Amino acid sequence: MTKRGILMRVLCLCMALLLAACAQAKGKQEVPGTTGGYTAPPMQESVFDQGAAQGENGIWVDTSHVSQGYVAASAVSDSRLKFQVVYGDVKYNYDLPSDGTPQCYVLQSGSGEYTFRVMQNTTEDKYAQAYAVTVMVNLESELAPFLRPSQMVNYNAESDCVAKASELASQASTEAGVVANIYAYIQNNIDYDKQKADTVESGYLPDPDETLHTGKGICYDYASLAAAMLRSQGIPTKLITGYVQPGELYHAWNMIWLEETGWITVKIEAPAHSWERIDLTFAAGASAAYTGDGTGYTDRFIY
């Protein structure tokens, strides 16, 4: 072979090696942290224990799991009911079905003295106390309330959103990778429902599986779905409602907690042992008329 031929073969070999290296580097950039290896802890569930509940006249409050971050209640009544969680001056009011369907409510205020009240509708929008119990709560962990299902973040081991979360988590190697995969999935597959946003009524409760199946929802749906998927994989997640700027728009988003720092997107690096905000509705490209400009968040309620 001539010197020219040898030179050409060497050049071709170098080009092939260079292209292979570039392709490999590009692949790493496209799927960072998705080599697998993440093992989710056993999913923590929320239950109503009738045997441990206390109450009267068809009203039952189960405080046997308060150290795990939630209280449960069940009631049968001919009137509309509210469940109130009171911690000092902080009060959270929830709907309580009057057909006996159990509900679980998060203890978002931390350890301390709580009063749980079942309120019965009397006239129009007025309610009177039908039953109350006060307990001292000592949480097993400050993160406990944000690792389980609740009325606002409703899922169980059989939920489709949990199955999808497990699938996405299996492709990650770290907690940050799990969040990144779930973040990207929701961002790319759930569309903002403007019609629903304009017509939704007070008292609406999100259904994570419905959001997953329909592929659309409002900010409340985005935040509830994200919380359900992440909590099911052992990642503490808050669902927060409050206001965003400009215009004091009422909105919903999430806060997550990681054991180690890690990148969620190219713009979001979540720190270790600290709450980090993620706004899936904003990330999915919903109109600023519904989400604000991604700044000026003011928390009102935490679930």
pLDDT digits over 196-225, tens only? 999 999 999 999 999 999 999 999 999 999
Model confidence band, residue 295 (pLDDT cutoffs 50, 70, 90) = confident
Whole-number pLDDT of residue 83: 98
Mean pLDDT calculated for residue range 164-178: 97
DSSP string, 70-123: EEEEEEB-SS-EEEEEEETTEEEEEEE-TBS--EEEE-TT-SEEEEEEEEEE-S
Whole-number pLDDT of residue 266: 87
Mean pLDDT calculated for residue range 102-124: 97
d(CA 74, CA 89): 25
Whole-number pLDDT of residue 33: 45
Multiple choice CATH, 160-302, 3.10.620.30, 3.40.50.720, 3.90.1170.50, 3.40.50.10300:
3.10.620.30
Model confidence band, residue 237 (pLDDT cutoffs 50, 70, 90) = very high
Mean pLDDT calculated for residue range 179-198: 97
Report residue 211 CA to chain centroid gap: 13
191-192 and 216-217 strand pairing: parallel
Whole-number pLDDT of residue 28: 29
Start and end residues for every CATH 3.10.620.30 domain found in the chain? 160-302
Specify the fold of 50-146.
Immunoglobulin-like (2.60.40)
The full length of the chain comes to 303
Residues 182 and 230 sit within 8 Å (Cβ to Cβ):
yes
Residue with tokens 């441990």: 52
pLDDT at 81 over 60: yes
d(CA 53, CA 45): 17
d(CA 138, CA 129): 26
Helix axes 219-232, 175-189, angle to 10 degrees: 150
Of 9 and 280, more confident:
280
d(CA 231, CA 228): 5
Model confidence band, residue 34 (pLDDT cutoffs 50, 70, 90) = low
For 29, the enclosing helix (H) or strand (E) is helix 3-30
**Contacting residues for 212 by C-beta, under 8 A, at least 6 apart:** 160, 161, 164, 190, 225
Whole-number pLDDT of residue 108: 98
pLDDT in tens, 9-20: 433 433 333 333
Mean pLDDT calculated for residue range 68-86: 98
